[in-house]
Amino acid sequence: MKALSFIVILNFFFIITTSAVCGQEAKDSDLAKQAQNPIANLISLPLQNNTNFGIGPDDETQNILNIQPVWPFSLNEDWNLITRTILPVVSQPDILTGGEGRTNGLGDITFTGFFSPKNSSSLTWGVGPVLLLPTATDDVLGSDKWGAGASVIFLTMPGNWVVGSLFSNVWSFAGSGDQDVNLFTWQYFINYNLPNSWYLTSAPIIIANWEADSDNTWTVPFGGGIGKIFRIGKQPLNGQVSAYYNVEKPDSGADWQLRIQLQFLFPK
């Protein structure tokens, strides 16, 4: 009888523990989709490090750490405003500084605000303004121009997929920089979610500098990587590693890029 009672107690604790683990995995799987949605109603702090290799004849390296706080606001019963600020911390090689040696510091800040409906159908979308702020700590790290433009995003999440595109264009309108800014950015993202909160990802950033000549206008990367939702204590995080090869690039562009991202998630 005692042995039977002991077995019953063990089975009870096994069921409770398994249910808790499965429940946590379900929550993290749902959190993975939210983390992959740039306009989710989710406070987060992505730290995205991009290392660009193979710049110029000496194969120099540029490093850009993008600190990207995302903060959503509820405007009313129907609309959210999702704000995203990108603060780039740049290490520029001498080929991009005019041979004056490596320069380190803060680049120009970009702020985007997306107005997005709370109750969308299978297609989620957002649209809003983009602002370029001349915050660079050195002339070679920024444009020294104020800029403004527009951005729009569309995405859908059928089954295990999160698929979408983000478009923006920024034009300069003031500032003392010598070169005007007319910059188009397109980031498509394709994510496939796997068991245990792992996922496959491809999110290259395609750039067109309309102020450059036709041979130096486009940067077109291709590649992908892998990510996972995990926890340190109770804090959920989204870790990701990916690599992209530039199939089209300016003369001074990099051959390829390694991207490592750690995103702190603060679900409500």
**Residue ranges of the chain with pLDDT lower than 50?**
1-23
What is residue 27's predicted lDDT score, i.e. its pLDDT?
Answer: 66
Domain at 176, CATH number = 2.40.160.40
What is residue 43's predicted lDDT score, i.e. its pLDDT?
Answer: 97
What is residue 25's predicted lDDT score, i.e. its pLDDT?
Answer: 55
The parent domain of residue 252 ranges over 2-266
Q: In the numeric block, which tokens belong to residue 247?
A: 């199939």
Q: In the numeric block, which tokens belong to residue 87?
A: 């603060």
**Model confidence pLDDT, tens digit, residues 177-230:** 889 999 999 999 999 999 999 999 999 999 999 999 999 999 999 999 999 999
Contacts of 89 (CB under 8 A, 6+ apart): 64, 65, 66, 67, 104, 105, 106, 107
Task: Give all strands (DSSP E) within the chain, no chain letters.
Answer: 43-55, 60-67, 70-74, 79-92, 103-106, 109-117, 123-133, 145-156, 161-175, 182-193, 198-202, 205-209, 218-232, 235-248, 256-266
What is residue 96's predicted lDDT score, i.e. its pLDDT?
Answer: 84
Number of separate domains in the chain: 1
What is residue 24's predicted lDDT score, i.e. its pLDDT?
Answer: 54
What SS3 state is found at 30? Answer: helix
| Closest by CA position to 171, among listed 125, 216, 131 | 131
What is residue 12's predicted lDDT score, i.e. its pLDDT?
Answer: 40
Q: In the numeric block, which tokens belong to residue 173?
A: 């309108």
